[in-house]
């Protein structure tokens, strides 16, 4: 008999999107599913809609709980898992109808602990596919544990997202998501991946990752700095278990620090007095020697570190100048996104 797949869908304030998401799961070509819909205290009609699916399909189980956030909802769903495999789906995304069948077959073929699907960025009128690291026609990429951790730390081929990956359930059931933080996947993924022997990366996109209309600049708050806290927490883990990836970890922390410093600057009214920006500057100063060593082979990052350490605004001018030169085509702009209209 085909192995059972448990699909966990945390639900909160997604009444506009929930039908597209759940239909893409119940209509999968792979039938042996356990679909766990976790209503995380959603104030709209999501709970009622979830119950309607449970009435129509005996594979669907609905859990109703007080609002506790995405981590708490995923943790609640994990307690109900009885399948050999687990798949997390965000309730505003949707899946290609043959996704689970494809991922299970790949896992069985390669004896993989985790299988990752590529994904589309799904906007209202079109899709974007990022082919910096993926060619849709490329064969599956097989990673051992060391290669996997490198890709996870560099956040290139292997993203920190929990979704879009089919996990052997035994890998994850005793590793809960950290509650009360944003970017909870960053705190979680490395703990799971340490247990993986074989990881298969598929280049075909089977997940549609919905992009909301609000920009990150407009919606940014200091809570978004949780991602930096997660990367720094992960860094201690990397130093202990994967010492040869320490420089890669510092490099990722530095790149992320720059992004968030300028997002805070763009939202100066949410960081009056520059408290959070000073925290970022303090971390970079304290770890300057290590970061410098980590980025020395990257000319652009080395320049940015030098300018930032002298004065953050100098680095901002450098970044803006590069953008202007790209628009003037003095510096070539790499084409990395394929646009597909609906």
Q: What is the pLDDT of residues 79-106, one digit of tens each?
A: 999 999 999 999 999 999 999 999 999 9
- Architecture field, domain 5-210: Alpha-Beta Complex (3.90)
Say if residue 78's pLDDT is above 90.
Answer: yes
Residue whose token pair is 């599913």 = 33
Mind listing the pLDDT tens digit for each residue in 141-164?
A: 999 999 999 999 998 899 999 999
Where do the domains of the chain lie? 5-210, 216-327
Do 164 and 200 contact (CB within 8 A), yes or no?
no
62, burial (CB in 10 Å: exposed 0-12, middle 13-18, buried 19+): buried
The tokens for 220 are 């940014």
Say if residue 257's pLDDT is above 80.
Answer: yes
Mind listing the pLDDT tens digit for each residue in 180-214?
A: 999 999 999 999 999 999 999 999 999 999 997 75
First to last CA, the chain: 37
Cα 280 to Cα 288: distance, rounded to the nearest angstrom: 12
At 134 the pLDDT is 74
* Strands in the chain per DSSP E: 5-11, 33-40, 60-65, 85-88, 94-95, 114-122, 126-130, 141-143, 165-168, 199-210, 337-341
The tokens for 5 are 């797949």
143-147, 267-271, 303-307, 315-319 — most confident range: 143-147
DSSP states along 33-97: EEEEEEEES-SSSHHHHHHHHHHH-TTEEEEEE----HHHHHHHHHTT--SSEEEE--TT-EE-T
Confidence band, pLDDT 50/70/90 cuts, at residue 282: very high
At 245 the pLDDT is 98
Q: Which of 219, 224, 340, 202 is nearest to 280 (CA)?
A: 224
Percent residues over pLDDT 90 in the chain: 76
Confidence band, pLDDT 50/70/90 cuts, at residue 339: confident
Say if residue 331's pLDDT is above 60.
Answer: no
pLDDT (mean) for 309-335:
54
64, burial (CB in 10 Å: exposed 0-12, middle 13-18, buried 19+): middle
Say if residue 309's pLDDT is above 60.
Answer: yes
pLDDT top residue among 71 and 334: 71
The tokens for 338 are 């394929």
The tokens for 168 are 């052997």
Do 158 and 201 contact (CB within 8 A), yes or no?
yes
């Amino acid at each position: 008999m085909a192995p059972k797949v448990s699909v966990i869908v945390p639900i909160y304030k997604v009444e506009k999107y929930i039908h597209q998401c759940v239909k893409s799961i119940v209509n999968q070509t792979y039938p042996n599913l356990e679909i766990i819909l976790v209503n995380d205290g959603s104030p709209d009609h999501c709970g009622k809609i979830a119950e309607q699916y449970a009435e129509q399909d005996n594979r669907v189980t609905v859990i109703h709980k007080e609002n506790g956030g995405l981590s708490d909802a995923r943790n609640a769903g994990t307690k109900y898992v009885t399948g050999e495999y687990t798949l997390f789906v965000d309730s505003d995304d949707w899946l290609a109808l043959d996704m689970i069948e494809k991922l299970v077959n790949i896992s069985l073929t390669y004896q993989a602990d985790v299988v990752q699907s590529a994904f589309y960025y799904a906007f209202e009128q079109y899709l974007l596919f990022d082919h910096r690291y993926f060619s849709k026609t490329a064969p599956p990429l097989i990673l051992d544990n060391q290669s996997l951790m490198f890709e996870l730390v560099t956040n290139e081929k292997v993203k920190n997202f929990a979704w879009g990956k089919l996990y052997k359930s035994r890998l994850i059931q005793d590793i809960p998501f950290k509650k009360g933080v944003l970017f909870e996947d960053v705190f979680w993924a490395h703990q799971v991946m340490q247990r993986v022997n074989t990881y298969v990366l598929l280049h075909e996109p089977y997940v549609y990752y919905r992009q909301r209309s609000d920009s990150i600049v407009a919606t940014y708050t200091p809570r978004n700095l949780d991602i930096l806290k997660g990367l720094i927490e992960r860094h201690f883990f990397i130093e202990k278990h994967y010492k040869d990836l320490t420089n890669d970890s510092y490099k990722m922390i530095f790149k992320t620090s720059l992004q968030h410093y300028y997002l805070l600057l763009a939202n100066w009214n949410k960081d009056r007095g520059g408290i959070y920006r000073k925290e970022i500057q303090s971390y970079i100063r304290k770890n300057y020697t290590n970061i410098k060593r980590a980025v020395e082979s990257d000319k652009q990052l080395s320049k940015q570190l030098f300018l930032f350490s002298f004065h953050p605004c100098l680095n901002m001018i450098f970044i803006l100048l590069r953008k202007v030169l790209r628009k003037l085509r003095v510096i070539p702009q790499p084409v990395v996104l394929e646009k597909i209209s609906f």
